[in-house]
Structure 1
Amino acid sequence: MAGSIFGSAFRISTFGESHGKAIGVVIDGCPAGLVIDEEFIQSELDRRRPGQSNIVTQRKESDTVQILSGIFEGKSTGTPLAMVIYNGDQRSQDYGHIADKYRPSHADYTYQVKYGIRDYRGGGRSSARETAARVAAGAIAKLLLAQQGVHIQAYVSQVGPLILQKSATELDLSLTESNDVRCPDPAMAEQMIDLIKAVRKDGDTIGGVVSAVITGCPVGLGEPAFDKLHADLGKAMLSINACKGFEYGSGFAGVSMRGSEHNDSFYQEDGKILTRTNHSGGIQGGISNGMDITFRVAFKPVATIIPEQESVNEQGEAVTVTGKGRHDPCVLPRAVPIVESMAALVLADHLLRQQMVKLP
């Protein structure tokens, strides 16, 4: 089965479960000679790890990464690059009460039917813990992209009904990491944090939106039919736990515009072809046009809540389910580095497919 493999020229395969011994990733296709900054990789994992603030799950994991292969004297060798992160703070006993029960809006029922067996401890393979492996791989992809002048910045733009009305060009994105919710508008960030705390106090959860901007992307990435750049970005984002929607450029808002309003007029400046507006979100015909790539990712409320819910067990008998254990009241703060990582994996893959990667 290839369900745990992503990418083509820059391909990753992740492994491990939430309450297993470890999680990890193997990268195939990373070109030789890339300087591997292990401190940067760890810093990316630190942005995603649990327990980093009082508005995320309090599971205590250091998420310390170990590189097992594919590196020599600080540079990639071109051979498979393997990384592992050992789990250290599992509380499997917290899940004994749902060993034979299906939690509403979780993968319990679908996994049971598909495989005939499921790991109920924290959701097993369906747990968002798996995304730590993606972030580790995404850090390598980011290092590769940085060499080509490509940078990705994601941030929280909505929590529940609280919507950041400013666009990325109106924001100081360097402020994204200055607060726990990762919103670059300090006043809005404070409101978002207060809302998440209130929701958590109620034993409930809440969703929202992560927005992202990719700068420095060259013209020509993406394929004309099934591997359009935005299609691959959409697949990448929709593979993230709790993701419910993806839009790029004008997205759904574009349907209320006329073509005369929506079209991005071309002009030339300093020998470069640019567009006066960017409703296309940096992608036209499935191929990057050199403008900033903009997209948004919608995340649902976390399915595990404290109040009792109606459900059934494996025998189809009516039961009630109560959430226990340590869970995020809102996935958004920790989703930001995951969104960036998945975007980095897509771009690294397309750069290599287009043979646009040049290392010193």
Structure 2
Amino acid sequence: MSEKTSKSTSGAPVSVPAKGIQPGKPFHDLAKWATKAPEGEHLISTAFGDKVKEDLKFVHNEPGVHKPDPILVADNVTRRFGGMTAVNVKHFEIERHGITALIGPNGAGKTTFFNLMTGFDAPNTGAWRFDGKDLAHVHPEQVARMGMVRTFQLTKVMSRLTVLDNMLLGAPVQPGEGLFRALVPGLWKKQEKANVEKAEALLERFLLIKKKDDFAGSLSGGQRKLLEMARALMSDPQLVMLDEPMAGVNPALKQSLLDHILSLREEGTTVLFVEHDINMVRHIADWVTVMAEGKIVAEGQPKSVMNDPAVIDAYLGAHANIDLGDDSVMDLKESEEH
């Protein structure tokens, strides 16, 4: 794998691997970028993680705060369904190369916000920019070509295609798709071979290589999640948006999936994910943004956000600090309703 030189926060040169999955390079080598190195070995690089940690160290923990190096910026984004406002985000930024968690109770507007940012839904108001480019009125496939891809809470795999064919759908360069070019194999065979090699390398990485010739419809719910994440990486995106990546995944695979996400950062990829597993959020997130009732109610480092009264109220309600075994709580709640 080729390397490039960066600098750590101390100013010393650090070798970081070139971006992208390299065919023939087993993922167990990449996984050493995660939090724990194998016995007797050292971490390859935490250059991007160190940079993000240093950059966010002096950022105030408050909703809508500005970041030192944002890759996605949204302003005054609203989405209404009839009389209900699902999203009402005044200002939102994601730090480049960081892992940002978007958390909140069910119905907070997180998935709707994802849909708006990626072109799958249109807002009533607002503007947003990805890497300095305006994304208003940009179609989802164009958003993906620009380097921002997403996965879905309910997986979108092609059940009657093989796992490998599902992967090849995510390849950005497909010269054989045209009618006339398809008749001349010399124009597309080399690229097709490269796409297959890359797809197989990703399937190896996500422990799905033995399933490559199976129909995607035969996979378990957790395996479909892994397939969708692997397919999203076929285009070497700058920003990956994961909608509840742990939902339906076998607990035995969760640590592996955590390592996948951490290694994405060390390849130079920015990650934004929606998740309800707070332990996972604490473990891997550099920054946490909390949504409730369509609004951003808190932002900050994971430890500080978990102790924020607004977050506790959003998840548990105003009586989170009261003994729920006390009958007086029910009397108080009934009096408030009347």
User: Which TM-score bucket, shorter chain as reference?
Assistant: under 0.3
TM-score (norm 2): 0.22
With the length of structure 1 as denominator, give the TM-score of the two structures: 0.21
